[in-house]
């Protein structure tokens, strides 16, 4: 069954109930102009809170599907979405799917060159974009606008090179008759993070999207009474596939535009959110705000908040221990996944396994997993190898990249590129990315292990360990440390703290700087290597 049928079912069963809420904290008007989240008099402010019912959601998707069909788009075509999170995002996504076309979500951080590259790689026939991207699209419009429709979503003046979304859809019928769509039809192209160069295009079928809904709801048990707070970008499989559990349950979700701790806690309190998916940096920021007294839990109504879960990157055990001190009644979970496995859930800790915090769990609902050596043979428990997963959510291929597909897809197994080990109970622990392993003097060093250790230091907010070139050892480990706000820390303090590590794991170099993370929370280690690797090369040349 295509995932669009769930939207139609929700519209029929829960039509007048709220499906989506958009919160814009930066645009919240003064309290004197606000009562029960409804404006009591005209103001120049942009609406702080917008909402949409399930019926409106489905009708908007139908109107866009009709507009696309009128433009000649249908099965086999591809429509890219380049939007910040907003109330229009998901109706546009489902409108594309209803036509039988493939939907192509794009990273809002893409430069103009990356936009052009990804549109060409996916062979997109249309691009739907928002006001934040006018300048970037305009830079390449003479090339990407050839034989490609450009649709602008936003207020104000529509760029001369684009059609206006509202004008295209407002007079379209609220009903749409979809062509026959099967589970085996292609549904979406997502893009890899691009940590090794330009992104790769990841092709998925409709059955993978539907399977993702089932996995998420099986893991977190969303019901009609739950309210999901969605903060990460919807272009990414993580945010959307976690929302899929609420979607399948027909429950309400809140799109929060902003990641400040007070925004998150206010949204949970005011909208009575019960399920929140956080990235590590946001959880760190909340804890720091509570530690410093900047925020007080007593100022918020949080008793209904039942589940906090984290994914997208390794989670320090110390972070969750501190979290549960502030929120002792929270269920905690972590899920592991890749865009190649249609997002989170192929590995799943489970709320009943909080004693195994630090692990990514075991194979998720409907999934299989194994850890193998360089020859593809399973390793023994406790040994480090590459994590592989298998299930209905594995991608079809890297679109138009047969060589890269063969590297990671072998006998239906997806080789993740993540190094991991399994304990005696079958729980899997990430050790590091295969490409991030540091080889110093012939010894393998796994940065995540050092990062986990350093994250327990009371002055460390965030940390990334990278390999830098070294004349004698080949590589040395360097710890890039972001210190908590208002605190000072010295290299001597860190070195003394690291005496708790085996000698070969102690960082050779300490760098105090911000730790960059991408919108999905992953540390941008290529940036750090580029920044600090050059100086190391100069040092090597000087020594020689």
| Interval 106-150: pLDDT, tens | 999 888 988 999 999 999 999 999 999 999 999 999 999 888 999
Tell me if 34 sits within 8 A of 267, measured CB to CB. no
pLDDT of residue 210: 96
Share of the chain above pLDDT 70, in %: 91
Taking residues 259-267, what's their average pLDDT?
95
Is the pLDDT confidence value at 40 over 70?
no
pLDDT of residue 532: 87
What is the pTM for the complete model shown? 0.82
Instruction: Identify the three-state secondary structure at position 17.
Output: coil
| Interval 352-365: pLDDT, tens | 998 898 899 999 99
| Interval 206-239: pLDDT, tens | 999 999 999 999 999 999 999 999 998 999 888 8
Of 350, 355, 347, 308, the C-alpha closest to 327 is 308
pLDDT of residue 443: 64
Is the pLDDT higher at 79 or at 438? 79
Phi then psi dihedrals of residue 302, to 5 deg: -125, 10
Is the pLDDT confidence value at 12 over 60?
yes
pLDDT of residue 328: 94
d(CA 280, CA 272): 22
Phi then psi dihedrals of residue 538, to 5 deg: -65, -45
Taking residues 409-431, what's their average pLDDT?
92
Is the pLDDT confidence value at 453 over 60?
yes
pLDDT of residue 316: 77
Instruction: List strand residue ranges (DSSP E) for 376-507, in order.
Output: 385-390, 397-398, 409-410, 413-422, 428-433, 438-440, 443-445, 460-470, 474-483
Instruction: Give the angle 518-520-526 at the CA atoms, nearest 5°.
Output: 35
Return the residue matching tokens 């027909």.
Answer: 250
E strand or H helix at 203, and its extent? strand 201-205
pLDDT of residue 343: 86
Is the pLDDT confidence value at 433 over 90?
no
pLDDT of residue 110: 87
Taking residues 29-57, what's their average pLDDT?
65
- Which ranges of 46-101 does DSSP label H, i.e. alpha helix? 54-70, 89-99
Taking residues 34-58, what's their average pLDDT?
68
pLDDT of residue 327: 96
Is the pLDDT higher at 123 or at 284? 123
d(CA 227, CA 246): 8
d(CA 517, CA 515): 7
Between helices 317-326 and 280-292, what is the axis angle to 10°? 50
Q: Which of 181-195, 272-286, 391-405 has the highest mean pLDDT?
A: 391-405
Is the pLDDT higher at 324 or at 472? 324
Is the pLDDT confidence value at 82 over 90?
yes
Taking residues 480-494, what's their average pLDDT?
92
The string of DSSP codes covering 388-411 is EEESTTS-SEETT-HHHHHHHEET
Q: Which of 17-31, 377-391, 522-536 has the highest mean pLDDT?
A: 377-391
| Interval 290-310: pLDDT, tens | 999 999 999 999 999 999 998
The full length of the chain comes to 544
SS3 labels along 130-156:
CHHHHHHHHHHHHHHCCCCEEEECCCC
Span between the terminal Cα atoms of the chain, in Å: 65
Of 428, 448, 441, 439, the C-alpha closest to 386 is 428
Is the pLDDT confidence value at 46 over 60?
no
**C-alpha torsion sign, points 230, 236, 242, 248:** positive
pLDDT of residue 156: 84
Strand partners, 338: 343
Of the pLDDT bands very low, low, confident and very high (cuts 50, 70, 90), residue 522 is confident
pLDDT of residue 34: 43
pLDDT of residue 147: 87
């Amino acid at each position: 069954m295509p995932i669009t049928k769930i939207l139609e079912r929700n519209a029929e069963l829960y039509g007048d109930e709220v499906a989506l809420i958009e919160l814009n904290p930066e645009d919240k008007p003064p309290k004197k102009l606000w009562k029960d989240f409804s404006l009591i008099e005209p103001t120049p402010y942009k609406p702080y809170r917008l909402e949409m019912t399930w019926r409106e959601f489905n009708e908007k998707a139908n109107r866009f599907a009709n507009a696309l069909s009128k433009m000649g788009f249908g099965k086999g075509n591809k429509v890219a979405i380049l939007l910040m999170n907003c109330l229009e995002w998901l109706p546009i996504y489902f409108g594309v799917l209803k036509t039988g076309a493939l939907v192509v979500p794009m990273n809002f951080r893409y430069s103009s060159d990356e936009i052009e590259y990804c549109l060409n790689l996916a062979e997109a026939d249309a691009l739907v974009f928002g006001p934040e991207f006018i300048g970037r699209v305009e830079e390449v419009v003479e090339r990407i606008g050839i034989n490609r429709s450009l649709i602008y979503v936003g207020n104000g003046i529509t760029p001369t090179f684009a059609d206006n979304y509202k004008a295209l859809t407002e007079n379209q019928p609220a009903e749409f008759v979809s062509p026959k769509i099967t589970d085996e039809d292609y549904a979406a192209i997502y893009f890899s993070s691009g940590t090794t160069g330009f992104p790769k295009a990841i092709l998925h079928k409709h059955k993978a999207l539907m399977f993702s809904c089932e996995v998420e709801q099986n893991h977190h048990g969303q019901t009609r009474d739950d309210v999901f707070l969605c903060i990460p970008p919807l272009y990414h499989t993580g945010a959307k596939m976690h929302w899929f559990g609420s979607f399948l349950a027909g429950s309400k979700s809140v799109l929060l535009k902003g990641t400040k701790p007070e925004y998150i806690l206010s949204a949970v309190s005011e909208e009575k959110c019960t399920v929140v998916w956080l990235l590590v940096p946001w959880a760190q920021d909340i804890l720091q705000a509570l530690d410093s007294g900047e925020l007080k839990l007593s100022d918020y109504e949080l008793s209904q908040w039942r589940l906090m879960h984290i994914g997208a990157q390794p989670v320090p055990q110390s972070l969750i221990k501190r979290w549960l001190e502030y929120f002792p009644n929270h269920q905690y979970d972590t899920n592991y996944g890749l865009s190649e496995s249609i997002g989170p859930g192929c590995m799943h800790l489970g709320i009943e396994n909080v004693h195994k915090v630090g692990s990514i769990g075991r194979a998720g609902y409907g999934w299989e997993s194994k850890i193998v050596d360089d020859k593809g043979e399973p390793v023994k428990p406790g040994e480090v190898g590459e994590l592989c997963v298998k299930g209905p959510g594995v991608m079809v291929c890297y679109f138009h990249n047969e060589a890269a597909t063969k590297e990671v897809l072998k006998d239906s197994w997806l080789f993740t590129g993540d190094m991991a080990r399994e304990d005696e109970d079958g729980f899997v622990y990430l050790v590091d990315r295969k490409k991030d392993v540091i080889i110093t003097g012939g010894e393998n060093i796994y940065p995540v292990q050092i990062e986990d250790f350093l994250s327990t230091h009371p002055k460390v907010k965030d940390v990334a360990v990278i390999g830098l070139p070294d004349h004698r050892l080949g590589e040395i480990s360097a710890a890039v440390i972001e210190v908590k706000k208002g605190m000072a820390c010295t290299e001597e303090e860190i070195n003394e703290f690291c005496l708790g590590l085996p000698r070969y794991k102690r960082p050779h170099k300490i760098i105090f700087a911000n730790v960059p993370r991408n919108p999905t929370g992953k540390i941008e280690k290529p940036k750090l290597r580029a920044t600090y690797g050059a100086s190391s090369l100069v040092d090597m040349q000087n020594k020689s």
